[in-house]
Chain A
Amino acid sequence: MGIGSEVEIAKKGKVECEMVQPLSGQAIYVVLLRELKRYWRAKARIISSMAQSFFFLAIFGLGLGGFIGRFGGIDYLSYLAPGVIGMGLLFGSVFSGVSVIFDRQFGFMKEMLVAPVSRTSIVLGKILGGAVTASIQGVILMIVAGLMGAFTPTPALVAGALSAVGVMLLITAGFVGLGVAIGSVLSDFHAFQLLATFVMWPLFMLSGVFFPIEVAPFPLQVVMLFDPLFYGVELLRWCLLGAGTPILGPFGWLIALGVLIGFAAVMVGIGAYLFSRAQV
């Protein structure tokens, strides 16, 4: 007695039945609502992630920008802004997805899984919630960058900014999906550091945030073209600056949009699948 193996079973207890159940709008909505509430209450997290992006804009944009000056016809700050927004989106959404680990750790996952709703509804609510909260963060960054003078105020910018919001949702949906997939496979927080070092930072650095892809050596260019965030940042540049990298040609925005839609669809699919299979 007192050895605690049943506690272990309960904690590690495989909750494994896969249910064939219809999607429930109500269930998706309630999980989304929870994400929004939790996001709104974690003020420290919102502030610190925004401050981080602000430092990038202020220090690199103004500091390094003063040294580099203009290139490709635009200010370095303007060049940098979409990329920093992309960074905010990336980190916000991956962590939001990975938070399924916390739900498991703190037991709330069981409350969701024993309810008469499908896992797919739960995971879609989770992904939608992560996409919306990370995009809210992106919008705030966009406004901050705008106030710093990163974008030329024209009537076209209004339309561009509105489309940018749609683009943000698309980018974040893909990366929350990635986060959920990772969170469903990883078992604990200790892998967080690895995740940041080997997944998130490379995705960020290779997305063409700091330097245009044209100046990179050919092998690096190839690697960058495999970074989904590269296309996200491209599309944000099209929206907010009216042009993208020459490498993708005059219809670069269309290519970027296609890649992003594909990435989001695949990652949401993989995330939902791994989540449904995960053991609690």
Chain B
Amino acid sequence: MSRISIIEVKALTKVFDNEIRAVDGISFTVDEGEILGFLGPNGAGKTTTLNMLATLLRPTSGTATVNVHDILAEPDAVRRSIGYVFQDPTLDLELTGRENLDFHGRLYSLKRDVRRQRIEEMLELVQLTDRADDLVKTYSGGMKRRLEIARGLLHHPQVLFLDEPTLGLDPQTRRSIWEHIQRLNQDKNITIILTTHYTEEADYLCDRILIIDFGKIVALDTPDNLKARLEGDIVSLTFKDPAKMVKIRPLLEEKDWIRRISVVASDNSHATMSHMMQMMRGMSGRVGIGGMMPGMDSGNVRGGGKMPKRVRQMLAQSMGGEDDQRGLEGGSKRLNLLVDDGGHRIPEIVKLADASEVVLESVELHKPTLDDVFLSVTGRNIRDERGSFMETVRRHRIIREARGHRVRG
């Protein structure tokens, strides 16, 4: 199959308020008929990139063409070439499914006959024909999502943008949306760009995956190639006492057959972080946290007299510090090792643990997944985790401030 590139992105950059480089000079091309996935954590710049390609945001510098139309010079032609299924629902709940599609068809000036015929076609495609005349507010989450996808396709775009297409859906619905996406791609040869932070979604659906982190492309390849980069096996160690992780680490680092060691953030520490974010949001304006965030390090966290004690404790706990060596490890119980020939090394690892009197709760062996790839290309291991976490908080804070709470989330 001959490959023609339908999207060409050149040094695309978006800087918000002269400060946050949400998208930082990215370049890539997308072939016609391809499914490309943007994989990245929240705030990585996925949606910002899509919004620029959809002409909703003006790039600070750089440009792109979509279906040979320049996003700056010919926004109208670009808009006609694309369908965009946004991350947040954008249906009119007070209209029926059919009326939502009809509205869209008229906005894209489809003639009456064409419109009617396509609406039937699309309803059929997403299996909503029998509910078409019910108000959308009576639809389930999966039905709404399917209707949005149908709507995005109504004007026969060459490219479909799907921003987190299955966010918050149950596994069964997610599976059925995946099948819809695949069928669209295969039957209608529609190029699809989707964003996701589910690695299994990217793995399952995408021809190529673009891993984006802090606005930069850190990897772009097929899922298989990405995984093949991590030659070897992943050995996951779970510790009974997380504090003991510190004891075994130096010993592991000495072994040349262990190529990478990363700490897996546990759900527990994750919960702590998001709880903290919640509290900070709630407090903005009342205490002076906003002002001190940019230069924050573990020193002034402990010294920050203005912060309520609870937050100070949580910050200190999740960031670690000289007098609390547990740090992030306090929240995490797992180490991932990238090991050559993992199966044969397990006994040695267990011996090592015994020798240093660390109790292992479990040892698991698996082939590298995209999660492992992600871990490896974004360099998120224990040493960087602290910094990058605070960096994320800082960015988050700045973005919120920059937007001045103009629109409520």
Question: Within 8 Å of chain B (Cβ to Cβ): is A107?
Answer: yes
Task: Identify which of A3, A37, A108 gathers the most chain B CB atoms within 10 Å of its CB.
Answer: A3
- Shortest CB–CB separation between residue B279 and chain A, in angstroms? 13
A104 touches B407 (CB 8 A): yes
Chain B interface residue number, banded: 35 or more
Check A116/B48 contact, CB under 8 A, given A2-B273, A4-B42, A17-B56.
no
Q: Which of B160-199 contact A (CB under 8 A)?
A: 163, 197
Q: Complex: how many Å from CA A196 to CA B72?
A: 41
Check A8/B408 contact, CB under 8 A, given A1-B41, A3-B273, A26-B109.
no
Question: Within 8 Å of chain A (Cβ to Cβ): is B204?
Answer: no
Task: Identify which of B22, B45, B92, B95 gathers the most chain A CB atoms within 10 Å of its CB.
Answer: B92
Question: Within 8 Å of chain A (Cβ to Cβ): is B141?
Answer: no
Q: Of all chain A residues, which has the CB nearest B59?
A: A17
Question: Within 8 Å of chain A (Cβ to Cβ): is B228?
Answer: no
B407 touches A3 (CB 8 A): no
Question: Within 8 Å of chain A (Cβ to Cβ): is B348?
Answer: no
Question: Within 8 Å of chain B (Cβ to Cβ): is A243?
Answer: no
Question: Within 8 Å of chain A (Cβ to Cβ): is B239?
Answer: no
Question: Within 8 Å of chain A (Cβ to Cβ): is B216?
Answer: no
- B109 CB contacts on chain A under 8 angstroms: 24, 26
B79 touches A6 (CB 8 A): no
Residue pairs across A and B with CB atoms within 8 Å: the count is 164
Segment among B27-35, B289-297, B396-404 that sits at the interface with chain A? B396-404
B107 touches A30 (CB 8 A): yes
- B197 CB contacts on chain A under 8 angstroms: 1
- B95 CB contacts on chain A under 8 angstroms: 34, 37-38
Question: Within 8 Å of chain B (Cβ to Cβ): is A200?
Answer: no
Q: Complex: how many Å from CA A9 to CA B23?
A: 12
- B406 CB contacts on chain A under 8 angstroms: 12, 187, 279
- B92 CB contacts on chain A under 8 angstroms: 34, 38, 106, 108, 111
B94 touches A41 (CB 8 A): yes
B408 touches A114 (CB 8 A): no
Segment among B98-106, B242-250, B251-259, B357-365 that sits at the interface with chain A? B98-106
Q: Complex: how many Å from CA A268 to CA B77?
A: 29
Segment among B80-88, B218-226, B309-317, B328-336 that sits at the interface with chain A? B80-88
Give the number of chain A interface residues (Cβ < 8 Å): 48
B51 touches A15 (CB 8 A): yes
Q: Complex: how many Å from CA A3 to CA B393?
A: 8
A2 touches B274 (CB 8 A): yes
A106 touches B103 (CB 8 A): no
Q: Complex: how many Å from CA A279 to CA B404?
A: 12
- A114 CB contacts on chain B under 8 angstroms: 54-56, 79, 82, 84
Check A7/B42 contact, CB under 8 A, given A12-B407, A26-B106, A34-B92.
yes
B56 touches A10 (CB 8 A): no
Question: Within 8 Å of chain B (Cβ to Cβ): is A5?
Answer: yes
Q: Of all chain A residues, which has the CB nearest B54?
A: A114
Check A7/B409 contact, CB under 8 A, given A2-B273, A17-B55, A29-B106.
yes
Check A9/B94 contact, CB under 8 A, given A3-B393, A115-B79, A187-B407.
no
A11 touches B407 (CB 8 A): yes
Q: Which of B247-297 contact A (CB under 8 A)?
A: 265, 270, 273-274, 277
B90 touches A13 (CB 8 A): no
Question: Within 8 Å of chain B (Cβ to Cβ): is A84?
Answer: no
Question: Within 8 Å of chain A (Cβ to Cβ): is B307?
Answer: no
Check A6/B107 contact, CB under 8 A, given A12-B403, A108-B91.
no
- Shortest CB–CB separation between residue B60 and chain A, in angstroms? 11
Check A116/B76 contact, CB under 8 A, given A12-B409, A34-B95, A108-B92.
yes
Which 7 pairs of residues, A with B, have the shortest CB-CB distance? A5-B43, A107-B90, A116-B79, A30-B106, A115-B107, A5-B396, A6-B42
12 chain-A/chain-B pairs, Cβ below 8 angstroms: A2-B42, A4-B42, A5-B43, A5-B395, A6-B46, A8-B409, A9-B399, A17-B58, A29-B106, A41-B94, A117-B107, A187-B408
Residues of B at under 8 Å CB distance from A? 16, 22, 41-48, 51, 54-58, 75-77, 79-80, 82, 84, 86-95, 99, 103-104, 106-109, 151, 163, 197, 265, 270, 273-274, 277, 392-393, 395-396, 399-400, 403, 405-409
